[in-house]
Amino acid sequence: MTPVRRRNTLCIVITLALGGGVSAILPAQTPAPRRNIDSLLARMTLEEKFGQLNLPSVDNRPSAEQLELLRKGLVGGFLNLTGAAATRETQRVAVTESRLGIPLLLGYDVIHGYRTTFPIPLAEASTWDPAAVEATAHAAAREAAAAGVNWTFAPMVDVARDPRWGRISEGAGEDPYLGSVLAAARVHGFQGADLRAPDAVMATAKHFAAYGGAEGGRDYNTVDVSERTLREIYLPPFRAAVEAGAGSIMTSFNEIAGTPSHANRWLVTALLRGEWKFSGLVVSDWTGVEELRGHGVAGSRADAGKLALETGVDMDMVSRIYVDDLPALVRAGRIPVATVDAAVRRVLAAKAALGLFDDPYHGATVEREQAVLLAPEHRKLAREVAREAIVLLRNEAALLPLTSARHTVAVIGPLADDKSAALGSWPGHGDPRDAITPLEGIRARAGEGTKVVYAKGCGITDSAAAGIADAVALARGADIAVLVLGEAGDMSGEAASRSTLGLPGVQEQLLEAVQGTGTPVVLVVMSGRPLAVAWAAEHVPAIVQAWQLGVETGHALADVLFGDVSPSGKLPVTVPRSVGQVPIYYNHKNTGRPPSAEKYTSKYIDLPVSPLFPFGYGLSYTSFEYKDLKLSAPSITPNGKLRVSVTVTNTGAREGAEVAQLYLHDEVASVTRPVRALAGFQRVPLKAGESRTVDFEVGAKQLGLYDQNMKFTVEPGRVRVFVGGSSVGGLEAEFEVRR
């Protein structure tokens, strides 16, 4: 692929669980001198100070009431205000009609594209390609900034081990290492080398923290995890985003062990600002401050605001509690002025870092907006990344790629020609009319010698099976049937949890009926989460996990189905056999009674404990061999480094890309360790017959753990090394850590 901009993201230092502080500042720009911010702060009334902490939402444009608040200096920014004309006019009001002329932060959820909709983040994680992820974030920032947005509420870096949780679609999956690498890549893509640049937006790592650990996979639900699990699993991607220079952090809706995040001083003040030395802006989630009352830790709006502000939440999104209810508390001596001033300084520093005091419009113009939205190079990038995101799960008897011998291709299913579903959840300003559906892509690629016929078969959530008969008849007359099944775009994302993980409605019935015709079947699964397709894995010869790939869905899918590109995607999540296995993840603990044939071991009596498809798994149209696993030394000191090398060979007849993965296991430690933990990966493009030596470096970051006193340390002992194409199997070696 040829992304808009490529950097060696794999060389970014990722801290997975290190203790000690880091200096996290907005990258590569000189903030406004402190005296300038202090001077501005000294001129503010108390109401104007709280105005800077007020972040309301608009509906297309600010209302008359909101504009009046703006003129009074009672608004620090808006969310959901987009479009160069609207944003420029609103910024003009802020800088010319308010007393102090302070420009606005303008935030928007640019999750996987602004107008050009790229694959959902979970799909992008399937590329295992940090440079590609950085490139799409940069393209999205370029479009958003041209439209006047200067702040994105992304990346979402929540680790998700439960696919019932709808927001799994917005993140990088279940692994803290992969999530950390991609979190850093997205931050660099959004913010670039200079936040003042007209193609940069300030990034927000969200949701802080452990939002993905919601009980029952139910959005907004309680989270109850240990500090160890927090530090080892849920916090590393946030740490990586902070180290990459993320300008802001968003607190999460959930509680952790009885304390809601918006009121969690240990999380926001002690850990984020103290231990990690984060100096940026902390923003609440939508009405998150008000919801402290719903959690039952605040009895009034004022109490909720006091809790959140003293916790370190700088901006109040939508609730209006800070600006309406807190000035009276300051005057009554219940909130120190210094607490307010500290939050205001961080807001002003963010605006200065973006260069808004010099150019409040951040380079946005109507002409520039029209020139960059859905630019040809962005669509090209979307297609390239979507191809990399597709995961081939099954391909019996080499049914794929499709050949010219298949004269009639039946394309069947409710998602085969659904433009909205292709975009997925949170499509930004993406327009379904821009999307290429699987049917359109297959028709465009098939050529004159191949007849493509289509039947919907059923709706996505239909309970009636009336259309299945037509689909079966169509399949009987075809040489091959491509069934495109799965979820609508709004069946994942926020407030879209599911209690089951099967194909919705009567889609399973449609699949079984078409498979029963004897016509070879290719199942294409379009979804925002991994689906438990156990019947298909046993009966359907070819299965392609296509996720929701954005505007270029159809072209990218056709590129893979017809073999123009060999699939190279790898699963960033474990695919369960049944919802009853959830939560299921590869880096689990062994327990004292690991599963075996013995009765009294950790297993089910009615289902294997193994997944349907494991983390890191994905097939290709070619084959790869791993050999010559070598370690640079038989032992290292706790502060030493070890080089792991392996030779990867393309043993097939065509070129392809393999993702070589390194896993570690600490055999004996003072605390229990996962059976495997991802410690490195590299995409390796290889021509037919080509070999390449891949090197990984192992050091304290990968070997360290939190001991029983929650101190990060590297303990002596034996460490097993696994290198291969997934989290299962691979070549093995071992070394020792010695004092």
- Give the pLDDT confidence score for residue 33 in this predicted structure: 52
For residue 455, is pLDDT > 90?
A: yes
pLDDT for residue 132: 98
Q: Are 239 and 701 within 8 A, CB to CB?
A: no
Based on its alpha-carbon atoms, the radius of gyration of the chain, rounded to whole angstroms, reads 26
pLDDT of residue 404: 86
Average pLDDT score over residue span 310-331? 98
pLDDT (0 to 100) of residue 10: 32
Q: How far apart are CA 550 and CA 553, in angstroms?
A: 5
Q: Longest Cα pair distance anywhere in the chain, in angstroms?
A: 82
CB neighbour class for 6 (10 Å; exposed up to 12, middle 13-18, buried from 19): middle
Given this model, what pLDDT does residue 34 score? 64
Q: What percent of the chain has pLDDT over 90?
A: 94
Lowest mean pLDDT of 11-15, 360-364, 425-429, name the range.
11-15
C-alpha torsion sign, points 477, 483, 484, 486: positive
CATH architecture observed for domain 624-737 = Sandwich (2.60)
Instruction: Spell out the domain ranges in the chain.
Output: 31-368, 375-577, 624-737
- Residue 642: pLDDT over 70: yes
Res 207 pLDDT > 70: yes
Residue 717, pLDDT above cutoff 80: yes
Average pLDDT over residues 105-120: 98
Fold that domain 375-577 belongs to in CATH: Rossmann fold (3.40.50)
Measure CA of the first residue to CA of the last residue in the chain; give whole Å.
45
Residue 505 token pair: 């409605």
- Segment 279-302 shows an average pLDDT of 98
pLDDT computed for residue 620 by the predictor: 98
Residue 262 pLDDT more than 90? Answer: yes
Q: Distance between CA 461 and CA 107 in Å, rounded?
A: 34
Instruction: Please write the tens of the pLDDT for every residue from 29-46.
Output: 334 456 689 999 999 999
pLDDT confidence of residue 427: 97
- Both tokens assigned to 396: 């019996």
Residue 597 class from Cβ within 10 Å (0-12 exposed, 13-18 middle, 19+ buried)?
exposed
Annotated catalytic residue: which of 158, 162, 285, 303? 285
Q: Which amino acid is at 415?
A: L
Inform me whether the pLDDT recorded for 255 exceeds 90: yes
Percent of the chain with pLDDT over 70: 95
Q: In this structure, are residues 256 and 264 in contact, taking their beta carbons and an 8 Å threshold?
A: yes
Q: Is the pLDDT of residue 260 over 60?
A: yes
**Structure tokens given for 341:** 């001033």
Is pLDDT above 50 for 17?
no
Cα(157)–Cα(374) distance, rounded to whole angstroms?
Answer: 26
- Residues 330-345, mean pLDDT to the nearest whole number: 98
Fold observed for domain 31-368: TIM Barrel (3.20.20)
Q: pLDDT band at 405, cuts 50/70/90?
A: confident
209: tokens are 């923290």
In the annotation, is 490 catalytic? no
- How would you class 645 by CB atoms within 10 Å of its CB: exposed for 0-12, middle for 13-18, buried for 19 or more? middle
Tokens of 508: 């399973």
Mean pLDDT of the residues in the chain: 95
CA 250 to chain centre: 15
Average pLDDT over residues 232-244: 98
Q: Residue 316's beta-bridge partner residues?
A: 54
Task: Give the pLDDT band (50/70/90) at residue 447.
Answer: confident
Query: Span 642-653, mean pLDDT?
Result: 98
pLDDT at 206: 98
Nearest Cα to 663, choosing from 702, 613, 716?
702
Closest among 396, 326, 360, 403 to 51, alpha carbons compared: 326
Place of tokens 């392609």: 544
